[in-house]
Each structure stands twice: as structure tokens, then as C-alpha cells.
Amino acid sequence: RDSQLAETECLSTWKKWRRTSSKSLKKALSEVKGLSSYLVLWQRDIHSIEGKFGTGIQSYFSFLRFLVLLNFIIFILMFSFVTLPIIISPYGTFNSTVAYISPKNIEENCTIYEPTGNKGLVYFYTYLKDLFSGTGFLEVTSLFYGYYTIDAVWISIMRYNLPLAYLLATFAYLALSFLWIMKRSAEGFMQNLVHDADPFQSYCNKVFAGWDFCITDPNAAQLKHRSLQYELQMDLQEEKLKQKIAERTVREKLRIYSLRIFINMIVIAILSGCFYSIYRVTVFSQENSNVSIRNDTRTDSANLLVQYLPSMVITLANFIAPLTFSFLIRFEDYTPVFEIKLTLMRCVFVRLANIGVLLFSLWSQISDCGSDKCKPCGYNYKLYPCWESDVGQEMYKLMIFDFIVILAVPLFVDFPRRLLVTHCSCKLIQWFGQQEFQISDNILEIIYGQTICWIGTFFSPLLPAIATIKYFIIFYVKKIILIHTCKPAARPIRASGSNFFFLAVLLIGLILAFFPLGVSIAHIPSSKACGPFRNFNTAWEVIPGTILEFPAVVQQILFGMASEAFAVPFFMI
């Protein structure tokens, strides 16, 4: 400091002023940065959770905050470029008008679409049923694809190409999600890479750097002690197991491999049963709900039950299959770490594959061309005049039912269990004990919901708004459950490793979403009775149609970029 003061005295007035200004600016920026931390969503809540329960559980709530922000940005994107131009056009804002182009060379039967909107006197429970199923008054709102039956919007003298905007907005939210996940996962990947580089480093980390200094709660500290003890025991068990594996005889190896093959056959049988049940229930639900809507042969409650059958069966499969996998894995004689990872990957597969089977079932019905049902339009136009809205309704019902289950479990399971454990001294109840906060199960729950959102946004542009509200409420529900009814899991996982694993599973969900969206955009003929793509054979035809309007040189460049010679190396790199 004395040296700096001596140097300052030798400086000119201008340089002194610059140095003083620089210091003042740095101090001001530091204070602004400190104040801005208070504006970060749930900053105090997450710090409080981190202090009481450690970084492992904090990583779940940080992940939930990331999904809230991601869905909010996706909603802003879809609303700004797709929904807003249609909302403002009827009011003539900015001299805007709507342009409709009648479909050409298409049979009249293909263009008939009469949504089941409520007309006349309607009972309150009918509105309630429509709210849960996405039919009736909701079907004709901006929530679903069928509402966007517009070819262009003229804003003053500028033509706004809505079909192109709709498709580009879809590509933009998928690209945004992909890049954001990759950015967040890079740090966790590097930490995992460093951690796995040297097996001995695992012991060093636990002994010299294993304590979590964010913990302030005595109970959480005691749990952390047990956690470190458990991790060291697991490491020793793994070493013993590796030694045991090395010393196995040929006969023991044959027995274990035979048992693993048998158990994997059971797992495949369970998965096949889940997939077949979902397929049959979806076909039954689609056929019977459509028939009942046309003929009005069922009560509203019975029809709602039929419409929700696929969601119920998927939720049941998501509940039963993981419990069965956790039981079967005990007999496969894997290392504890690999046991956890394999169980989680099986659970991830069953949850995400169930969505894929549901979509496959819907597509099989939409493309059911027996008795020339599809001949005029290329799809089953009698049952699905606007099939994109039907797919959007299924995604909407999945999201709503998933939300109901997430809210119902704490209310009817977790809170009663806590009351029984606290106030009842029965040995059986005390043996069950207090509910543990299972990070991996809760993460898989919200990743499943996010995958539904990614797939459904193309068919229901405002679905990200529902997802944002859903995750916002879930944050507070899970926080209340954690503080008042749960205890941290006795076998926690590292925050760095868990963050990377969560993002890796989320990336799998995003990649899964690419396939159904790609098939819907490029393969299945678009509805001729509704939506912005009714004048195109498929939604993808908007892109080459737009490129053909460009100058010849630009066309050659863009078609060259779209060729396999350029595209394949580009995506590989």
C-alpha cells in the first residue's frame, strides 16, 4: 500500500483521476453484482436447502430452476413468433390483416373439420371435463395446433410467413434446449473426467476433501458422517467384489451369466408387457373416445375416463416397473455403483420409451389405411380430421395427469406417513420410518415431464407455459415435502456427478423428442383441414418452397448445405 501511495504521488492529475474512477467503477460493479444475486430466482431458498441438506439435494432444486427458466424462454419464443401475430391481427394492430389461401387439388372431404366446441347451455362439469381433456372449448383456443389455420399475416406492407415462422420456431426451441444443456453439462463432464482419472483419487477426495462445509444443521451433519462412512464401505466392498470376480471359477461364471441372462429376459418381458398394454389401451381409447364424441353414447365422466386411460396405464407402468427392476438387480451380483446406474438407466428407458410407444400407437391409428381410409388425404381423415390437435391433446393430458400425480402423492402418501411415524409407536410403522428424499426418482419424474413438453410444443404451442407453471408449483411442493416430511437419502450421490448425470438423461430425453417430431414434420402428411401447413403435403415442404423464392445463387448455396455431402460431416463434427 505504501508503494502504491508513493507511485500515486508521482502521477499526474489526469492519471490519478483515471485510477480513482477505475477503482470506483470496479467497486460499483461488485456491489451491483452482489445485489443482482437477490434477483436470481429462488436464490435464498436454494442456499437454505444447501445449508441444511447438502449439495446433493441442492442440485435437484437447481435443476428444477433451470427447467423453469428453459420452459419460460421456449414459451416466450413460441408466443412471440407464432401466437402473437394471430392474436393482434383481428384488431388491426400495426395495420395487420390475415391471409387465407384455400387448399388446391384436395378433395373436399379432407378439409372438413368441426371441433367439438361447446354450444348453447353448457353445465359447469362439462367445462371441467374439457379443462382436463383438452377438448370442447379448449380445442378451439390458441393452446392447440388447429387454431393456427392461417397462411400469412400482413403487418402494414410486410408479409409474415406464419408456416415458416411456426417451423423455424420449433427448430429454434429444440436448438436452444440442446445448446443450453450442452453448456451446463460441460463443467460436470470435466469434473467427472478428473474424478475418474485416478482410482486412488477417490479415497483422497473422501479423506481430505469429503466434508460439505455448507451444512449447518446437526442432523444433516450426522447424516453426512454416515454418508462418508457408507461411501468408504462401498469402496471397500467394490474392491472385495473385484477381487471376488477375479477369483471366480468357470462354473460360478456360468451360473452368474445364466442368471443375468434370465433376469434380463424377465426385464424385457416386463418392458414388452408395458409397451403392449400402452399400445392396446391407446388404440381402445382413441377408437372409443372418437365414437362416443360423435354418437354421444357415454356420460362425460365415462368418456373422460376412456380418454385418460393411456395416461393412467403409463403412470402405472412408471410406478411398477422401477420397483421390479430394483428388486431384480439384487440377484445380478454387480458392483454397488454399477447396480445403481443400471437400475436408473432401466427406469429412464421405461419412462421415455412409454412416450414413444404412445406416439407410435397414435401414428398407427392416424396412418391406418385399411379399406382405403387414407386414399384422398394420405391419413385417416374420418377419425382424425386435424390429427396434430389430437396428438397435442394426448401430450396435454399426459402433462396434466403427471402433475396431478405429483401433487397427490405428498397429500395422500407422504404427509399421512409422517403423521403415523411421529404419533404412532407401532413397530411396523416405525420400521417403514420417515420418507427419504430420493433425488434420482424425483429427477426422472421431471425429465419425463420435460420430454412430454418438448414433443408436445409443436402440436400445442402454449404447452411450455403450462410446464413453467407446473415446475414453479412443484418447486414449492418439493421444498415443503423435503423440510416437513422427508429426510435425505441415506445413500446420497455427489453433486457434480449427479448434475452431469441429470443433464445426460435430460439430453437423452431431448434426443428422443427429435425422432417423433422429425417423423411428424417430414413423413406424415399434414392435416388438410387445419393448421398452417394445410397447403403443404408435409410441414417440411415449407423450407424448400421458401428457398425457391430466393435468387439462384442463394438457392445453390442452401441446397448444397442441405446435401448429404455437407450435412453428414457437419453433424458428425
pLDDT digits (tens, 9 = 90+) for 428-466: 777 667 777 777 778 888 999 999 999 999 999 999 999
Asked whether residue 37 is domain-assigned, the answer is no
Asked whether residue 208 is domain-assigned, the answer is no
Least reliable range by pLDDT among 234-243, 290-299, 467-476: 290-299
Instruction: Please name the residues in contact with 299: beta carbons below 8 A apart, sequence gap of 6 or more.
Output: none
Query: Looking at residue 436, what DSSP letter applies?
Result: E
Selected residue with higher pLDDT from 190 and 543: 543
Asked whether residue 227 is domain-assigned, the answer is no
Instruction: Please name the residues in contact with 7: beta carbons below 8 A apart, sequence gap of 6 or more.
Output: none
Question: What are the grid coordinates assigned to 202, written together?
Answer: 477417490
DSSP lists the bridge partners of residue 152 as 99
Asked whether residue 218 is domain-assigned, the answer is no
- The verdict on 382 and 259 lying in the same domain is yes
Asked whether residue 238 is domain-assigned, the answer is no
Instruction: Please name the residues in contact with 83: beta carbons below 8 A apart, sequence gap of 6 or more.
Output: 142, 461, 462
- The verdict on 399 and 265 lying in the same domain is yes
Asked whether residue 230 is domain-assigned, the answer is no
- The verdict on 547 and 461 lying in the same domain is no
Question: What are the grid coordinates assigned to 93, written together?
Answer: 394492430
Does the pTM surpass 0.75? The reply is yes
- The verdict on 561 and 475 lying in the same domain is no
Question: Quick one: average pLDDT of 61-72?
Answer: 92
d(CA 461, CA 75): 8
Asked whether residue 408 is domain-assigned, the answer is yes
- The verdict on 75 and 126 lying in the same domain is yes
d(CA 79, CA 71): 12
Q: Is 21 helix (H, G, I), strand (E, B) or coil?
A: helix
Residue keyed to cell 415458416: 164
- In this predicted structure, the answer to whether residue 296 has a pLDDT above a threshold of 60 is no
- Type of residue found at 471: Y
Backbone torsions φ then ψ of 232, nearest 5 degrees: -65, -40
Question: What are the grid coordinates assigned to 207, written together?
Answer: 479423506
Count the Cβ atoms, other than its own, within 10 Å of residue 128.
Answer: 12
pLDDT band at 172 (very low <50, low <70, confident <90, very high): very high
pLDDT band at 262 (very low <50, low <70, confident <90, very high): very high
Asked whether residue 513 is domain-assigned, the answer is yes
- The verdict on 544 and 517 lying in the same domain is no
Q: Which domain does 477 fall in, by range?
A: 55-197+248-535
In what helix (H) or strand (E) does residue 232 lie, and over which residues does it extend?
Answer: helix 218-246
- In this predicted structure, the answer to whether residue 218 has a pLDDT above a threshold of 90 is no
Ranges of beta strands (E only) in 45-165 are 96-99, 152-155, 158-160
Question: Quick one: average pLDDT of 483-496?
Answer: 64
Residue 346 near residue 326, CB atoms below 8 Å: no
Instruction: Please name the residues in contact with 60: beta carbons below 8 A apart, sequence gap of 6 or more.
Output: 439, 442, 443, 478, 498, 502
Which is it for the CA torsion 358, 360, 365, 366, positive or negative? Answer: positive
Residue 426 near residue 481, CB atoms below 8 Å: no
Question: Quick one: average pLDDT of 238-260?
Answer: 84
| Closest to 528 (Cα-Cα) out of 368, 359, 382 | 382
Selected residue with higher pLDDT from 496 and 382: 382
pLDDT band at 77 (very low <50, low <70, confident <90, very high): very high
The structural domain count of the chain equals: 2
Report the pLDDT value the prediction gives residue 371, as an integer from 0 to 100.
61
- The verdict on 185 and 312 lying in the same domain is yes
- The verdict on 512 and 444 lying in the same domain is yes
Q: Residues of the chain with pLDDT > 90: what percent?
A: 14
Question: Quick one: average pLDDT of 173-198?
Answer: 78
Backbone torsions φ then ψ of 488, nearest 5 degrees: -60, 150
Report the pLDDT value the prediction gives residue 60, as an integer from 0 to 100.
86
- The verdict on 141 and 190 lying in the same domain is yes
d(CA 275, CA 64): 29
Residue keyed to cell 396431478: 404
- The verdict on 520 and 552 lying in the same domain is no
Least reliable range by pLDDT among 55-64, 99-108, 217-226: 99-108
- The verdict on 472 and 544 lying in the same domain is no
Least reliable range by pLDDT among 73-82, 362-371, 383-392, 502-511: 362-371
Report the pLDDT value the prediction gives residue 70, as an integer from 0 to 100.
94
- The verdict on 94 and 123 lying in the same domain is yes
Mean pLDDT of the chain: 80
d(CA 401, CA 11): 71
